[in-house]
Structure 1
Amino acid sequence: MNFKYTIFSLIIILTMYSCSDDYLEKQPLSEITAETFFNTASDLQLYTNGFYRMWPSTSIYNGEASTDNIIQTELSDEMRGTRLVPTTGGGWDWSYLRDINFFLQEYEKSDDEVAKAHYGGVARFFRARFYFDKLQRFGDVPWYDEPISPDDTEALNKAQDSRQFITDKILEDLDWAIANLYEEKSTYEVTKYAALALKSRVGLYEGTFEKYRNISGYEKYLEASVSASEELIGNSPYQVYSTGSPEKDYVELFNSHDANQTEVILARAYSQELSIAHNVNYYTTTSSYGRPGMPKDLVNSYLNADGTRFTDQVNYNQMSFIEEVKDRDPRLSQTIRTPGYTRKGQSIVLAPNLGATVTGYQIIKYVTEPVYDTNSQSITDLPLYRFAEVLLNFAEAKAELGNLTQVDLDKSINLLKQRVNMPNLILDDANASADNFMASQYINVTGSNKGVILEIRRERRIELFMENFRWDDIVRWKEGQALAQPIRGLYFDGVGSYDLTGDGETNVVLYEGEQPANPIAGVQYYKLGSDFTLDPNGLIDPHPDYNSRTFDESRDYLYPIPRLELQLNPNLIQNPNWE
């Protein structure tokens, strides 16, 4: 069965609710009853297919714009420090949990033991994912492992359980799923490998969250991440995708219409035939939809092609665009437009379109042929769990535990570097000379493994850019101050003509006053102080009104519980300093 095309065409006969605590009072089925259902493997599959609606509705990359990874015309409330306590909504939605728990209450009646084991694992995977999302957003939340009757006042008024209790329950569900899910490789269905990947992610998240807040017992979570990662590294059909073409393998991993089955463990499927699409082409190429751009501090973090640090150069922040992107980690030119860039399926060399990016660094990850440039027409499958993330999780967890070895790096981080022909990361060298630039970004890293932890974080931000990890990484590392740092973009030496493609021809003209007469076709003209602003050092300042931003260390790592939920359940406690 080709799951990409069948899951969306199956008749989902469940009613999936989107309210908050009202889920406790609604039935999970509309036309069928437990007495007549949950008997066959097909029944179990049909019900659990509804859980796949938990995937992001359009994309996995939108969350990056809440952080310092993708800068848009409007800064997010998270970046500005202007989040408010909502009355309702705010992510406090429990509808899917009711459906999952109802399934787990009823599915045992089936006589198909093989199907019960697998689909029970699917349900527990989704319950683990559901609670992991709640843990990341709110911290302590109530744990429910069965559907609640509308007259069960005690359950309805349940207080929050601790984040450690929630994490332990998540890992318990995942261990059950890992032991029972099918092992066959399937890019669009939950399998044992997807559950291992989620366990790797959960363990690393909670382990580092607790370590950087001096909470005792964090080691067991890092060890859980290591064990799950090792199982995937040593006993799974996945590997780093590479054809031996370092100049294109990374970008082709993401601009393929169908998920790459060599590396992608689980993907969100999109299809033109079924009219299921997202908007990445429109998002990154048009001047009317956010104008997303990579920030300069991230561009600066890419190493030179020979493995040396770009930021060790005296004038690294005031180089022309052609100079700064020359001879860098090949992932840079496969993530943003650089000299020589052509669209997929075309041969015309394109300069960055400054009208479509507020920083000047125009994103190309996931971007495909121009035919998909209309809003909500992109059909590239989006990775939800990727083998590369598992490798990064493994190396980081080992480094934070203090038992990372060179052998560990060689079977994890260095496989990603080898894909793009970058020199290996050497443990002793990294720890002997920690990068000051990276240390200024992550001020809480200390200890004997400081240098290698900083390098792993460099690799993580670069490799997983635009895959929706940045906010969660900032939170677990307790590095919220990074979101309040100045935001900058491309360097220009004031008014003048600029070549951004390296062919000697003008691509951009910056001017003051009136636009030059007789504009040249194909050349971009921008008025300084109007179309964009340069700071005193010549760097694009996309948000000059927001150069003084704050991040409240006592509040902003968690989201607030909506006011209505606190009224409905008086035993809930608002997250710190959101009162």
Structure 2
Amino acid sequence: MHYKHILLIVVIGFSLFSCSQDFLDKEPISEVTTENFFATASDLQLYTNGFYRMFPSTSIYNGDSKTDNIIEIELSAEMRGARFVPTSGGGWNWAYLRDINFFLENYERSDDEAAKSHYGGVARFFRAYFYFEKLQRFGEVPWYDKTIDPADEETLTKPRDSRQFIVDKILEDLDWAIANMQADQQVYEVTKYAALALKSRVGLYEGTYMKYRDIAGYEKYLESSIKASEELINNSPYSIYSTGKPLEDYANLFNAHEAIDAEVILARSYSEALNIGHNVNYYTTTSSYGRPGMPKDLVNSYLNKDGSRFTDLENYNQIAFTEEVNNRDPRLSQTIRTPGYTRKGQSIELAPNLGATVTGYQITKYATEPVYDTNGQSITDLPLFRFGEVVLNYAEAKAELNTLNQEDLDASLNLLKARVNMPNLSLEMANNNPDVFLANQYPNVNGSNKGVILEIRRERRIELYMEDFRWDDVVRWKAGETLTQAIRGMYFPGAGEYDLTGDGETNVVLYNGERPDNLVPGVQYYEIGSDIFLDDNGLIEPHPDFDERSFNESKDYLYPIPRLELQLNPNLEQNPGW
């Protein structure tokens, strides 16, 4: 049996240390274990396999729908500025932490030194992962590194620890894991390389979070990100996946049934045989599940094939679809339907289905053969950490520290451009001529590296699209106002017949009033003002009745602590503005 299937079975069947809603109400784990459980390497592996349930299961790609990356029929509460304080839940769940700390208090009973080193590192990795998620969501939180006696009221009601204290503890755990874990290349298991990738992510997040809020001391976190990234770049088996096919390799990295471990450091696995799937095919192809689409401002962000800016063209917002997507960065045609698109394993060229996307730009990333289109049946492994992110982290951290040079870019970000045969990013050219289009999106980017930082952000949004980074990036950059900019879709000058495949045949008909007679099979028909809405410039308007949105700079970067938790622990303070 394939190892990914074995691990899936173990994780799914792992109920010995199951989670409860809150660690305050959980029975001590010691009551459901035995004195000799932690004796062998198998015991340690079995226990730590339960931690893998912390990873996103079926919605790693849906996180972008909270932001301006994926637009659906209904905007998220984050995009609308309509979040509220929940009574309970809301992400304030600590059960996994108790399980992790219980393991760390008991795993050294084993006499297997190698197993203790590795699985001790696995547990510390997951504690770091757990706290990093809490930090991103709530900011300061209480730090617990031991299980708590239910009678220990003082510990149970401790106040939040400082943000810096939490981050330093996260990095301390990761450094221990990096020093002690196995360095095997295991795409479905946490290893030293996954810990390095998480350290790269944490350091960049906190360093930029502090920098864009004028908090002193941010430099050390950017340095920690650089150090971890350099270790992966220089001393790991990972690289940017490429077979020399720039029109296919990016798409194939994400629609492969099994994770491509040349680039993917850690993946969440799925299996048709075990009936464990997710819903990306259904999500991107059906008209009854959100109708997700890429927004026009992101389509505009993709460079032309020669490296020039699409937004430097005159009237770039009023260019017909087939011309608009022609000769662009090849990742555009490997992320949305463009002329020549076919489903995996098929040869029939398909136009964008405007019934399945509110913007007209239909997403194809992760999508596979139509046989997996039923809800919950997609089996593509989903990347949790990949080398592509690491090289972007490296370039951005160095740019923010003003230590980036051209050699750094060529050893990192430009590897991603090389995969799709795009011209290299030039540090000098970027800084001498910052992109006005991007500068309007991120007005708080300034300084001598303004141009290259904007270009790195362009690259990050494109390369990591639909991988659940956008919200966290907007938060750490203090760029919340970006989410309030106008949302638009594909350009149509008005009623008429349109060819979206470039083959000279009509695919879409837009009409006013009565539906045309003699409907042609295979052609999409939409009534303007009913089925589809166009603004005064001919751009699809996905939400004609709700285009005014707000972002509260004083509170919306964090989530509120549930009311019940504030009652249980009077020493907790609610996040500002909530």
* TM-score bracket relative to the smaller structure: over 0.9
Which runs of no fewer than 5 residues in structure 2 stay unpaired? Answer: none
Per-residue CA deviations over 1:485-539 (Å, capped at 9, x if unaligned) read 1100000010000000000000000011111011100000001111121010000
Aligned AA (1:125): F
Partner of 1:20: 22
- Once residues 154 and 198 of structure 2 are traced to their aligned partners in structure 1, the CA distance between those partners, rounded to angstroms, is 32
Cα contact 1:489–1:539 (8 A) shared by 2: yes
Deviates more, 1:398-407 or 1:48-57: 48-57
- Equivalent positions of 1:459-538 (< 5 A) are 459-538=459-538
Cα contact 1:21–1:565 (8 A) shared by 2: no
- Once residues 546 and 165 of structure 2 are traced to their aligned partners in structure 1, the CA distance between those partners, rounded to angstroms, is 39
Partner of 2:253: 253
- Equivalent positions of 1:143-158 (< 5 A) are 143-158=143-158
Cα contact 1:14–1:28 (8 A) shared by 2: no
Cα contact 1:73–1:292 (8 A) shared by 2: yes
Partner of 1:199: 199
- Once residues 17 and 49 of structure 2 are traced to their aligned partners in structure 1, the CA distance between those partners, rounded to angstroms, is 12
Partner of 1:137: 137
Cα contact 1:16–1:28 (8 A) shared by 2: no
Aligned AA (2:517): A
Cα contact 1:13–1:31 (8 A) shared by 2: no
Aligned AA (1:562): P
Residue 544 (structure 1) shift? 1.5
Aligned AA (1:52): Y
Partner of 2:166: 166
Cα contact 2:264–2:387 (8 A) shared by 1: yes
Per-residue CA deviations over 1:419-476 (Å, capped at 9, x if unaligned) read 0000000000000000000101111100000000000000000000000000000000
- Equivalent positions of 1:68-217 (< 5 A) are 68-217=68-217
Aligned AA (2:334): Q
- Equivalent positions of 1:280-429 (< 5 A) are 280-429=280-429
Aligned AA (2:449): N
- Once residues 20 and 457 of structure 2 are traced to their aligned partners in structure 1, the CA distance between those partners, rounded to angstroms, is 36
Residue 21 (structure 1) shift? 4.4
Cα contact 2:23–2:98 (8 A) shared by 1: no
Per-residue CA deviations over 1:520-566 (Å, capped at 9, x if unaligned) read 00000001111121010000000122211100000000000000000
- Once residues 368 and 2 of structure 2 are traced to their aligned partners in structure 1, the CA distance between those partners, rounded to angstroms, is 23
The 1:3/1:497 distance shift into structure 2, 3 A limit, reads same
Partner of 1:32: 33
Which runs of no fewer than 5 residues in structure 1 stay unpaired? Answer: none
Residue 30 (structure 1) shift? 6.7
- Once residues 3 and 85 of structure 1 are traced to their aligned partners in structure 2, the CA distance between those partners, rounded to angstroms, is 43
Residue 15 (structure 1) shift? 3.0
Per-residue CA deviations over 1:354-385 (Å, capped at 9, x if unaligned) read 00000000000000000000000000000000
The 1:13/1:83 distance shift into structure 2, 3 A limit, reads closer
Cα contact 1:270–1:276 (8 A) shared by 2: yes
Aligned AA (1:402): N
Residue 18 (structure 1) shift? 3.5
Partner of 1:575: 575
Partner of 2:56: 56
Deviates more, 1:51-60 or 1:351-360: 51-60
Cα contact 1:14–1:30 (8 A) shared by 2: no
Cα contact 2:8–2:269 (8 A) shared by 1: no
Residue 13 (structure 1) shift? 4.1
Residue 29 (structure 1) shift? 6.0
Residue 314 (structure 1) shift? 1.1
- Once residues 546 and 263 of structure 1 are traced to their aligned partners in structure 2, the CA distance between those partners, rounded to angstroms, is 41
Residue 14 (structure 1) shift? 2.2
Aligned AA (1:192): K
Aligned AA (1:431): N
Please state whether the residue corresponding to 1:454 is helix, strand or coil. helix
- Once residues 289 and 198 of structure 1 are traced to their aligned partners in structure 2, the CA distance between those partners, rounded to angstroms, is 32
Cα contact 1:14–1:29 (8 A) shared by 2: no
The 1:31/1:159 distance shift into structure 2, 3 A limit, reads closer
- Once residues 517 and 268 of structure 1 are traced to their aligned partners in structure 2, the CA distance between those partners, rounded to angstroms, is 49
- Once residues 330 and 240 of structure 2 are traced to their aligned partners in structure 1, the CA distance between those partners, rounded to angstroms, is 16
Aligned AA (1:15): F
Aligned AA (2:212): Y
- Once residues 537 and 191 of structure 1 are traced to their aligned partners in structure 2, the CA distance between those partners, rounded to angstroms, is 52
Aligned AA (2:360): G
Partner of 2:431: 431
- Equivalent positions of 1:235-250 (< 5 A) are 235-250=235-250
- Once residues 516 and 15 of structure 2 are traced to their aligned partners in structure 1, the CA distance between those partners, rounded to angstroms, is 63
- Once residues 498 and 359 of structure 2 are traced to their aligned partners in structure 1, the CA distance between those partners, rounded to angstroms, is 16
- Once residues 22 and 329 of structure 2 are traced to their aligned partners in structure 1, the CA distance between those partners, rounded to angstroms, is 46
Residue 36 (structure 1) shift? 2.5
Aligned AA (1:178): I
Aligned AA (1:334): Q
Cα contact 1:59–1:382 (8 A) shared by 2: no
Residue 9 (structure 1) shift? 1.6
Deviates more, 1:57-66 or 1:501-510: 57-66
- Once residues 282 and 249 of structure 2 are traced to their aligned partners in structure 1, the CA distance between those partners, rounded to angstroms, is 23
Cα contact 2:435–2:454 (8 A) shared by 1: yes
The runs of at least 4 aligned residues of structure 1 exceeding 3 Å deviation read none
Aligned AA (2:248): K
Partner of 1:41: 41
Aligned AA (2:87): T
- Once residues 367 and 4 of structure 1 are traced to their aligned partners in structure 2, the CA distance between those partners, rounded to angstroms, is 21
Cα contact 1:3–1:189 (8 A) shared by 2: no
Please state whether the residue corresponding to 2:245 is helix, strand or coil. coil
Please state whether the residue corresponding to 1:534 is helix, strand or coil. coil
Residue 347 (structure 1) shift? 0.3
Cα contact 2:292–2:363 (8 A) shared by 1: yes
Partner of 2:233: 233
Residue 19 (structure 1) shift? 1.0
- Once residues 28 and 516 of structure 1 are traced to their aligned partners in structure 2, the CA distance between those partners, rounded to angstroms, is 68
Cα contact 1:15–1:30 (8 A) shared by 2: no
Residue 3 (structure 1) shift? 3.1
User: Quick one: percent identity of the two aligned structures?
Assistant: 73
Question: TM-score, normalized by length of structure 1?
Answer: 0.99
Residue 16 (structure 1) shift? 2.0
Per-residue CA deviations over 1:308-341 (Å, capped at 9, x if unaligned) read 0000011100000001000000000000000000
Question: TM-score, normalized by length of structure 2?
Answer: 0.99
Cα contact 2:61–2:466 (8 A) shared by 1: yes
Aligned AA (1:259): A
Per-residue CA deviations over 1:1-41 (Å, capped at 9, x if unaligned) read 84311112224242322413435x422367423x1211111
- Once residues 545 and 567 of structure 2 are traced to their aligned partners in structure 1, the CA distance between those partners, rounded to angstroms, is 37
- Once residues 28 and 434 of structure 1 are traced to their aligned partners in structure 2, the CA distance between those partners, rounded to angstroms, is 56
Please state whether the residue corresponding to 1:384 is helix, strand or coil. strand
The 1:152/1:355 distance shift into structure 2, 3 A limit, reads same
